[in-house]
Amino acid sequence: MSTPDRREAVAIGEKAPLDSPVSSYNEWDPLEEVIVGIVDDASFPTWHMSLPSVLPEGQVETFRSQAGRPFPPHQVEAARRELEEFVRILEGEGVTVRRPEPIAQRQVYSTLDWASTGLYAAMPRDALLVVGTEIIECPMAWRSRYYESLAYRPLLKEYFQGGAKWSAGPKPELTDEQFDQTWTDPGEDDPPRLVVTEFEPTFDAADFTRCGRDIIAQRSNVTNEFGIEWLRRQLGDEYRVHVLEFKDSHPMHIDATLVPMAPGKLLIHPERVPEVPELFKSWDVMTAPTPVIPDGHPLYMTSKWLNMNILMLDHERVVVERQDEPMIEAVRKFGFTPIPCDFRNFNSFGGSFHCATLDVRRRGTLESYF
């Protein structure tokens, strides 16, 4: 392994990271500990005008009519079983798996300005950002996700006690000024018209992907420039945050668009990334194969391109959806070892293996890959 582990790094006199239970600098170093989300109490959130900016066509009416109600129980159960299989696979590969605590999702909560119910704690990738030994609670733009990080508080406290740096973005007020009240849906081929304004900093962690000292970001319907700038300043001079633009009329989360798999190996969406970004010009690039999820399969919140939403266990092993044979074949050809796991029912709730996880600790150090 070319990357020295933390103890070796001390021995050879490099600047070693704190001895922290949280330590992850990129998407590919050997995974030691990971948080896997839960679907307990998963619910359609209270309706809000920002939802149509990212919901697939056809789901807007469902979200309106089902607001505040649970997702269909048989689908939640099927997703729960797949999560259990995923956990078993990860543990079998030697990874320590942690889970959030269920919190009530259909209880109404309020601020001085508005009231909402919650969504779920299924996607730790959205709510928490790990950069090195720091774990950051994100200032999420959805009112329904305002208290989502509470599900992770027992873990956050434990990691802090163990030596991690624990921080949080400024809690946004999420008043009406945070959202473009004149927003109308751009066509699929139009440039995005983002629903989130620059009123206060907001971001989801999943709009960032980490390549050591270089962190790639996108603006989206939940992540604004103010939020990206907050993060840039929070991380300081050791990191360079690059904001890239993609051909995506409804952007939310970068992890089904541009997926760095290992040093020098990049997976891209065939349409959203029409040209390889300058930064990655020297990397080997694989275009994602067309997803195979059938049209009838419910996808409440995303496109079918969740086939790209993979989890790297190290520079070689990658968890991919079991029924997605084209992707299994493609990653093998690209030089990786696919580990198949059923996840199609979980996919219905808006994510796949990358979304459903947060890599708390990977064995490796802060490096430059460009």
Binding site for ligand DAV (CB under 6 A): 206, 253, 255-256, 302-303, 305-306, 351, 355
Instruction: Count how many residues are written for the chain.
Output: 370
Which contiguous run of DSSP H or E holds residue 131?
strand 128-131
Out of 40, 126, 180, 204, the active site residue is 204
Q: How far is the CB of 299 from ligand DAV (least distance, A)?
A: 8
Q: Quickly list H helices, 141-272.
A: 153-161, 225-235
Which contiguous run of DSSP H or E holds residue 2?
none
* Distance spanning both ends of the chain, measured CA to CA: 19
Could you confirm whether 255 is annotated as catalytic? no
| Tokens linked to 35 | 């948080």
Residue with smaller CB distance to ligand DAV, 40 or 255: 255
Q: What are the phi and psi torsion angles at 287 (to 5°)?
A: -90, 135
Out of 253, 269, 315, 354, the active site residue is 253
Residue with smaller CB distance to ligand DAV, 51 or 206: 206
Residue with smaller CB distance to ligand DAV, 319 or 355: 355
Sheet holding 265-268, edge to edge: 258-262, 265-268, 284-287
Q: Are 194 and 221 in contact, with CB atoms under 8 Å apart?
A: yes
Residue with smaller CB distance to ligand DAV, 197 or 303: 303
| Tokens linked to 255 | 């992890």
Could you confirm whether 237 is annotated as catalytic? no
Which contiguous run of DSSP H or E holds residue 88?
helix 73-92
Q: How far is the CB of 252 from ligand DAV (least distance, A)?
A: 6
Residue with smaller CB distance to ligand DAV, 134 or 255: 255
Which contiguous run of DSSP H or E holds residue 340?
strand 337-341
Instruction: Say which residue the tokens 């992707």 belong to.
Output: 327
Could you confirm whether 355 is annotated as catalytic? yes
Which contiguous run of DSSP H or E holds residue 85?
helix 73-92
Residue with smaller CB distance to ligand DAV, 268 or 366: 268
User: What residues contact 37, with CB distance under 8 A and at least 6 apart?
Assistant: 83, 99, 100, 120, 121, 122, 123, 124, 355, 356, 357
Report the C-alpha gap between 19 and 363 in whole angstroms: 12
| Tokens linked to 217 | 């970001």
Residues noted as catalytic: 204, 253, 355
